[in-house]
Amino acid sequence: MVNIKPYIKEHEQRFLNELIELLKIPSISADSTYKNDVLKTADEIKISLEKAGCDHVEICQTEGYPIVYGEKTIDKNLPTVLVYGHYDVQPPDPLDLWHSPPFEPVIKKTETHPEGAVFARGACDDKGQMYMHVKALEFMTRTNQLPCNVKFMIEGEEEVGSPNLAIFVKENQEKLKNDVILISDTGMIAPDVPSITTGLRGLSYVEVEVTGPNRDLHSGLYGGAVANPINVLAKMIASLHDENNHITIPGFYDKVEELTQEERQQMAKAPFNLEEYKKALDINAVYGEAGYTTNERNSIRPTLDVNGIWGGYTGEGAKTVIASKAYAKISMRLVPHQDWEEITQLFKTHFESIAPAGVTVKVKPHHGGQGYVTPIDSIGYQSASKAYQDTFCKTPIPQRSGGSIPIVSLFEQELKSKTILMGFGLDSDAIHSPNEHFGIFNYLKGIETIPLFYKYFTELSK
């Protein structure tokens, strides 16, 4: 395979401009007011895949947002790589914390990204990382070096739990048939420390509603005499962790995979500086489950976090009211062997059982997904490892991510193939946060590395 570097140099500016145009469209799948923008983004992805050399691209309708499918088949006897990514993005709020509008991309240099980074919602998660694959394909087709077949499946509902992808995958097993699935929707340890994500956490996301009196009440006339839904919700949430920050839901840990001391020692080798970690977040201390390190807490251990809470008067000034209702959005990150539907049920049963007299509690499951682990002795992992070695001159470190890509375990179940997670983002890229960005170095390095995965995967598959 000829060196891609000159091609990247020549088209670098265009690669950036095309991504910036894509980032200008607010494809927020969680908020229905952006419906047309999400749909428009799907159309743009279709066009870009056609330009990149796919010989068949279609927009596949679902109950929700469509899935863009594309393929380039050169020889039925050669292996097939299925690329998955998503074109939808997280809501950008809180808007006031963005230094530039989330959908008006700007390039700025940072300490971590001396060569500059693109600041915009979706820059890293996942438009930027997904688009690396489109550009890598462009290189391979224009230079006639595509060594195998490739399929693309780019969805628009990842940030809301991929409610329709499962159905699509189940109904299109033949079309999606492949030998390995390739995803760039995770991160690497540092720009000079390549890593391959070998594990993902599962997810259970629920919304709870606590109802007390049938109307808002004057806190003077009723205060102290009736259950206050906000106080009750706070008490119930607080009770979900014990003094060691273990989760108190009965049965929650029953199926949790316990790593061996050796595995934990292996993990501990990954470079990590607690002081820098705290400094980057402006916190005076980390916090979490007793008996585990920070890296273990956010990768191999399950967690429970409130993602949003609201109730009563939240406007300017003061209002002496006892709210009729209080709400919270709560998500649990799960580890391998924990079944997300079972955990969701355990949460529901427990949370409803701890409601005190005087209130009623509703638990509404939002969505979820299973955890996942990739074996590092697979052809796919080895091919990715070799690709990184060529472009970073370093062997990538296998790492467990705390994040979740629920559909990965679905792919294995339905398509019977393993997923390789080649992520080029950084934890500091602020995905899901204000000022999300993606380093230009990382973007181009991804485009450079991906074709080598195709090369090695084809060779090792012989």
Sites for a copy of itself among residues 132-161 (CB under 8 A): 159-161
Complex with a copy of itself: residue 47 or 274, whichever CB lies closer: 274
Binding mask 54-93 for a copy of itself (x = CB under 8 A): ------------------------------------xx-x
Sites for a copy of itself among residues 108-137 (CB under 8 A): none
| Among 86, 113, 133, 333, contact with a copy of itself (rule: CB under 8 A) | 333
Complex with a copy of itself: residue 83 or 206, whichever CB lies closer: 206
* C-alpha 282, offset from chain centre: 24
Query: Three-class SS of residue 392?
Result: helix
| Among 105, 187, 194, 398, contact with a copy of itself (rule: CB under 8 A) | 187
Please give the order of strands across the beta sheet that includes 117-119.
106-108, 117-119, 437-439
CB of 52 to a copy of itself, least distance (A): 29
| Among 78, 189, 309, 373, contact with a copy of itself (rule: CB under 8 A) | 309
Complex with a copy of itself: residue 178 or 303, whichever CB lies closer: 303
- Kindly tell me the sign of the dihedral angle through the C-alpha atoms of 148, 154, 159, 163: negative
CA distance 108 to 113: 8
CB of 343 to a copy of itself, least distance (A): 14
Give the binding-site size for a copy of itself (rule: CB under 8 A): 102
**Cβ atoms of 196 and 373 closer than 8 Å:** no
User: Can you name the residues that pair with 200 across neighbouring β-strands?
Assistant: 372
Instruction: Write phi, then psi, for 437 (nearest 5 degrees).
Output: -150, 170
Sites for a copy of itself among residues 236-295 (CB under 8 A): 237-239, 241, 281-289, 294-295
The token pair at 210 is 């606590």
Binding mask 204-243 for a copy of itself (x = CB under 8 A): -x-x----xxxxxxxxxxxxxxxxx-xx-xxx-xxx-x--
Complex with a copy of itself: residue 72 or 121, whichever CB lies closer: 121
Instruction: Write phi, then psi, for 387 (nearest 5 degrees).
Output: -60, -45
CA distance 380 to 365: 35
Listing DSSP states for 352-363 in one string gives HHTPPTT-EEEE
Sites for a copy of itself among residues 419-458 (CB under 8 A): 427, 430-435
Query: Burial code of 359-370, b = ≥16 C-beta within 10 A, e = fewer?
Result: bebebeebbbbb
CA distance 295 to 278: 13
CB of 89 to a copy of itself, least distance (A): 11
Cα distances (angstroms) measured from residue 447 to each of 113, 368, 392, 444: 17, 31, 13, 5
| Among 3, 261, 273, 314, contact with a copy of itself (rule: CB under 8 A) | 314
Query: Three-class SS of residue 34?
Result: helix
CB of 289 to a copy of itself, least distance (A): 6
Complex with a copy of itself: residue 34 or 457, whichever CB lies closer: 34
Complex with a copy of itself: residue 158 or 448, whichever CB lies closer: 158
Sites for a copy of itself among residues 26-45 (CB under 8 A): 29-32
Query: Tell me, what DSSP letter sits at residue 281?
Result: H
| Among 301, 350, 437, 445, contact with a copy of itself (rule: CB under 8 A) | 301
Sites for a copy of itself among residues 362-401 (CB under 8 A): 366-367, 401
